[in-house]
Structure 1
Amino acid sequence: MHRYRSHTCGELRATDVDTDVRLSGWLHNRRDLGGVVFVDLRDNSGVVQLVVRSDSPAYEALGSLPRETVLRADGRVLRRDAENANPELPTGEIEVQVGDIEVLGTCDPLPFSVFPEEKVNEETRLTYRFLDLRRARMHRNIQLRSAVVASIRRKMTERGFLDLQTPILSATSPEGARDFLVPSRIHAGKFYALPQAPQQFKQLLMVSGFDRYFQIAPCFRDEDSRADRSPGEFYQLDMEMSFAEQEDVFGVIEGVMTELFTEFAPERETTSPFPRIAYRDALARYGTDKPDLRATLELVDVSHLFADSDFRAFAGKHVRALPVPGCGGRPRSFFDQMGAFAVEKGAQGLAWVRIADDGTLTGPIAKFLTEDVTTRLIADVKGEPGTAIFFGAGEESEVGKIMAEVRVEAAKRADLFEEGPFRFCWIVDFPMYELDDDGKVEFSHNPFSMPQGGMEALRTKDPLDILAWQYDIVCNGVELSSGAVRNHSPEVMYEAFRIAGYPKERVDEEFGGMVRAFHYGAPPHAGIAPGVDRIVMLLADEPNIRETIAFPLNGNAQDLLMGAPSEVDEARLKELHLSVRTPPAKAPKP
Structure 2
Amino acid sequence: MKPPPDNRFRNAWGGDARAAAVGEQLRVAGWVHRRRDHGGLIFIDLRDRAGLLQLVFRPEAPEAHAAAHRLRSEDVLCATGTLARREQGTVNPKLPTGEVELHVSEFELLSDAETPPFQVDEDDDVDEALRLRHRYLDLRRTRMRSGLELRHEVVRTMREHLNAEGFLEIETPILTRSTPEGARDYLVPSRTQHGSWYALPQSPQLFKQLLMVAGYERYYQLARCFRDEDQRADRQAEFTQLDIELSFVEEDDVIELCDRLLQAVLAAGGIEVSLPLERVSYDDALLRYGSDRPDRRPGMEIADLGEVFTESEFKVFAGALAAGGVVRGLRIPGGGELPRKRFDELTEEAQALGAKGLVWAVVEDGGWRSPIAKFLSDEEIAGASAVLGAKPGDALLVVA
The normalised TM-score by structure 1 is 0.57
Q: Is the 8 A contact 1:287 1:299 kept in 2?
A: no
**Separation of aligned partners in 2, 1:143 and 1:386:** 41
Q: Where does residue 198 of structure 1 map in the other structure?
A: 204
Residues 338 and 292 (structure 1 numbering): CA distance in 2 closer, same or farther, change over 3 Å? farther
Please report the RMSD computed on the Cα atoms of aligned residues, expressed in angstroms: 3.7
**Separation of aligned partners in 1, 2:217 and 2:274:** 28
Query: Which amino acid is 1:321 matched to?
Result: R
Q: Where does residue 140 of structure 1 map in the other structure?
A: 146
| Aligned partner (choices 24, 36, 51) of residue 19 of structure 1 | 24
The normalised TM-score by structure 2 is 0.82
1:83 Cα offset (Å): 2.0
Matches within 5 A, 1:112-191: 112-191=118-197
Residues 70 and 334 (structure 1 numbering): CA distance in 2 closer, same or farther, change over 3 Å? closer
Residues 62 and 242 (structure 1 numbering): CA distance in 2 closer, same or farther, change over 3 Å? same
1:314 Cα offset (Å): 7.7
| Aligned partner (choices 283, 286, 293) of residue 289 of structure 2 | 286
Query: Which amino acid is 1:210 matched to?
Result: Y
1:323 Cα offset (Å): 5.0
Matches within 5 A, 1:560-575: none
Residues 345 and 52 (structure 1 numbering): CA distance in 2 closer, same or farther, change over 3 Å? farther
Q: Where does residue 392 of structure 1 map in the other structure?
A: 399
1:273 Cα offset (Å): 1.9
| Aligned partner (choices 30, 42, 45) of residue 50 of structure 2 | 45
Partner of 1:224: helix, strand, or coil?
Answer: coil
Partner of 1:73: helix, strand, or coil?
Answer: strand
Q: Where does residue 273 of structure 1 map in the other structure?
A: 276
1:120 Cα offset (Å): 1.1
Q: Which moved more, 1:35-44 or 1:309-318?
A: 309-318
* 1:214-238 per-position Cα deviation (integer Å, ceiling 9, x unaligned): 1111111112222344x22111111
* 1:224-262 per-position Cα deviation (integer Å, ceiling 9, x unaligned): 222344x22111111111101111111111001012213
Q: Where does residue 214 of structure 2 map in the other structure?
A: 208
Q: Where does residue 2 of structure 1 map in the other structure?
A: 7
Q: Where does residue 259 of structure 1 map in the other structure?
A: 264
Residues 384 and 270 (structure 1 numbering): CA distance in 2 closer, same or farther, change over 3 Å? closer
Q: Where does residue 451 of structure 1 map in the other structure?
A: none
Q: Where does residue 3 of structure 2 map in the other structure?
A: none
Partner of 1:47: helix, strand, or coil?
Answer: strand
Partner of 1:277: helix, strand, or coil?
Answer: coil
**Separation of aligned partners in 2, 1:368 and 1:191:** 67
| Aligned partner (choices 57, 61, 74) of residue 68 of structure 1 | 74
Residues 386 and 80 (structure 1 numbering): CA distance in 2 closer, same or farther, change over 3 Å? closer
Q: Which moved more, 1:347-356 or 1:48-57?
A: 347-356
1:129 Cα offset (Å): 1.3
| Aligned partner (choices 237, 240, 245) of residue 240 of structure 1 | 245
Residues 340 and 333 (structure 1 numbering): CA distance in 2 closer, same or farther, change over 3 Å? farther
* 1:357-406 per-position Cα deviation (integer Å, ceiling 9, x unaligned): 99x9994236668x9xx98xx79x9679989863236xxxxxxxxxxxxx
Matches within 5 A, 1:430-509: none
Task: Confirm or deny that 1:29 pairs with 2:37.
Answer: no
Task: Confirm or deny that 1:351 pairs with 2:359.
Answer: yes
Query: Which amino acid is 1:83 matched to?
Result: G
| Aligned partner (choices 276, 286, 301) of residue 297 of structure 1 | 301
| Aligned partner (choices 325, 328, 333) of residue 321 of structure 1 | 328
Partner of 1:5: helix, strand, or coil?
Answer: coil
Query: Which amino acid is 1:118 matched to?
Result: D
Q: Which moved more, 1:338-347 or 1:185-194?
A: 338-347
* 1:386-429 per-position Cα deviation (integer Å, ceiling 9, x unaligned): 89863236xxxxxxxxxxxxxxxxxxxxxxxxxxxxxxxxxxxx
Q: Is the 8 A contact 2:83 2:100 kept in 1?
A: yes
Residues 361 and 108 (structure 1 numbering): CA distance in 2 closer, same or farther, change over 3 Å? closer
Q: Is the 8 A contact 1:221 1:233 kept in 2?
A: yes
Query: Which amino acid is 1:82 matched to?
Result: Q
**Separation of aligned partners in 1, 2:369 and 2:164:** 60
| Aligned partner (choices 339, 343, 346) of residue 339 of structure 1 | 343
Q: Is the 8 A contact 2:329 2:388 kept in 1?
A: no
**Separation of aligned partners in 2, 1:35 and 1:355:** 61
**Separation of aligned partners in 1, 2:390 and 2:240:** 49
1:9 Cα offset (Å): 0.9
Query: Which amino acid is 2:80 matched to?
Result: D
1:45 Cα offset (Å): 0.4
Residues 122 and 362 (structure 1 numbering): CA distance in 2 closer, same or farther, change over 3 Å? closer
Q: Is the 8 A contact 2:34 2:121 kept in 1?
A: yes
Q: Which moved more, 1:6-15 or 1:286-295?
A: 286-295
Task: Confirm or deny that 1:91 pairs with 2:134.
Answer: no
Q: Is the 8 A contact 1:25 1:43 kept in 2?
A: yes
Q: Where does residue 222 of structure 1 map in the other structure?
A: 228
Aligned residues: 378
| Greater RCO (Cα-Cα under 8 Å, separation 6 or more) | 1
Residues 305 and 165 (structure 1 numbering): CA distance in 2 closer, same or farther, change over 3 Å? farther
Q: Is the 8 A contact 1:112 1:118 kept in 2?
A: no
Residues 102 and 169 (structure 1 numbering): CA distance in 2 closer, same or farther, change over 3 Å? same
Partner of 2:225: helix, strand, or coil?
Answer: strand
Query: Which amino acid is 1:3 matched to?
Result: R
1:13 Cα offset (Å): 1.2
Query: Which amino acid is 1:211 matched to?
Result: E
Q: Is the 8 A contact 2:303 2:388 kept in 1?
A: no
Residues 392 and 101 (structure 1 numbering): CA distance in 2 closer, same or farther, change over 3 Å? same
**Separation of aligned partners in 2, 1:179 and 1:239:** 22
Q: Is the 8 A contact 1:183 1:189 kept in 2?
A: yes
Query: Which amino acid is 1:274 matched to?
Result: L
Q: Is the 8 A contact 2:153 2:268 kept in 1?
A: no
**Separation of aligned partners in 2, 1:252 and 1:134:** 37
Q: Where does residue 482 of structure 1 map in the other structure?
A: none
**Separation of aligned partners in 2, 1:75 and 1:252:** 52
Partner of 1:297: helix, strand, or coil?
Answer: coil
Residues 91 and 323 (structure 1 numbering): CA distance in 2 closer, same or farther, change over 3 Å? closer
**Separation of aligned partners in 2, 1:28 and 1:51:** 14
Q: Is the 8 A contact 1:355 1:384 kept in 2?
A: no
Structure 1 segments unaligned to the other structure (5+ residues): 394-590
Residues 202 and 162 (structure 1 numbering): CA distance in 2 closer, same or farther, change over 3 Å? same
Structure 2 segments unaligned to the other structure (5+ residues): 1-5
Partner of 2:150: helix, strand, or coil?
Answer: helix
Query: Which amino acid is 1:25 matched to?
Result: G
